[in-house]
Amino acid sequence: MGLYLITGGAGFIGSHLADALLARGDAVRVLDDLSTGRRENLPPAASLIVGDVADPAAVRAAMAGVDGCFHLAAIASVARAAEDWLGTNRANLVGTIAVLDAARGARTPVVYASSAAVYGDCPVQPIAETAPTAPRSAYGADKLACELHAAVATEVFGVPTVGLRFFNVFGPRQSPGSPYSGVISIFAGRLRRGEAVDVFGDGGQTRDFVYVADVVAALLGAMTRRPAGHRVFNVCTGHATSVRALAETIASLSGQALQARTHPPRPGDIRHSVGLPVAAREALGLAPPTPLRDGLADVLAWLAQGE
Ligand SMILES: NC(=O)c1ccc[n+]([C@@H]2O[C@H](COP(=O)([O-])OP(=O)(O)OC[C@H]3O[C@@H](n4cnc5c(N)ncnc54)[C@H](O)[C@@H]3O)[C@@H](O)[C@H]2O)c1
């Protein structure tokens, strides 16, 4: 049994990770400023420190005595990063450096959340880890900088690190405001009420929707297997799902006919984003991903509970 720190543990992905660690008998400490996370997301057995990940003293105190750190705290929003460039940089990059610095003394392993946003609008699909990185947002630029600092932490300071480039994670507890897969919660809410959904452009834009349980498996696999050197892996399914196909699947699971209102394409929207999951599957020992339909059924069941 180990003790693990989860920064951002009161958020969507972090709280699922907390559940999984506790279920296998580990102890969990969470550092979260509750800016988007919620205390109610956390199981009672997890201890919560309310604090800022960019505050070095708070991070050092939270890191004391842990066997590993899952660093997920971030302002996970391209739009917020565009509005408050410096503020999001502090949480997303300075926060990561604070975590890596606190891990230095005891060489505490750090598994951290990067993002498919590091690839920008990649011309070659599906995207392998070897594809060029060309972020098109301050958020993606910060995530790429996190990877560079993690490489320094490993190669210069001997801190074991693994970066996970999450694609579009979805599942229960995700806020409809999420820029990644909030569309799923929004579509599900509308379609279950028999209302029309909004589709931008022709609905042919594709995303790689990865279920949160599979992301948790990747986080745990990265901490357990810890491949040598600083490595980054895509966390994705390899399946492209168009926005229209997504709406159709949710409509069919909800027993409703799909009604869609179409709007002009949103400026700057990336057309396709699909990852190649092979390297992560091999290095982290991952099972085949949860089928989209099964994950969506779980989201619908969770939404129904909240009514
Ligand atoms: N959800 C996705 O599809 C996705 C995709 C790519 C990357 N990511 C990354 O995964 C991680 C988790 O994302 P999520 O979807 O669970 O988002 P989330 O907003 O639910 O979780 C982030 C958590 O970090 C906390 N936080 C934010 N700023 C903080 C600060 N300064 N100090 C302490 N805590 C702070 C929030 O309160 C929240 O609990 C983030 O690093 C995000 O960038 C998510």
pLDDT in tens, the chain (307 residues): 899 999 999 999 999 999 999 999 999 999 999 999 999 999 999 999 999 999 999 999 999 999 999 999 999 988 888 899 999 999 999 999 999 999 999 999 999 999 999 999 999 999 999 999 999 999 999 999 999 999 999 999 999 999 999 999 999 998 777 666 678 888 988 888 889 999 989 999 999 999 999 999 999 999 999 989 999 999 999 999 999 999 999 999 988 889 899 999 887 778 899 999 999 999 999 999 999 999 999 999 998 887 6
- Per domain, the residue ranges of the chain are 3-168+209-235, 171-207+239-273+287-305
Give distance in angstroms: CA of 149 to centre of ligand 1. Answer: 19
14 CB within 6 A, ligand 1: yes
Strands (E), 72-200: 110-115, 161-166, 168-170, 197-200
CA-wise closest residue to 239 among 280, 292, 179: 292
CA-wise closest residue to 275 among 118, 136, 142: 118
* Residue located nearest, by CA, to atom 27 of ligand 1: 74
Clarify whether 139 is annotated catalytic. yes
113 CB within 6 A, ligand 1: yes
Q: Closest ligand 1 atom, CA of 71?
A: 41
Question: Which one from 4, 112, 139, 211 is the annotated catalytic residue?
Answer: 139
Whether CATH 3.40.50.720 fits 3-168+209-235: yes
> Whose structure tokens read 């027993």?
255
Classify domain 171-207+239-273+287-305 at the CATH class level. alpha beta
76 CB within 6 A, ligand 1: yes
Joined tokens for residue 270: 């990336």
Classify the C-alpha dihedral 96-97-100-103 as positive or negative: negative
75 CB within 6 A, ligand 1: yes
The torsion angle over the Cα atoms of residues 17, 20, 23 and 27, rounded to 10 degrees, is -30
6 CB within 6 A, ligand 1: no
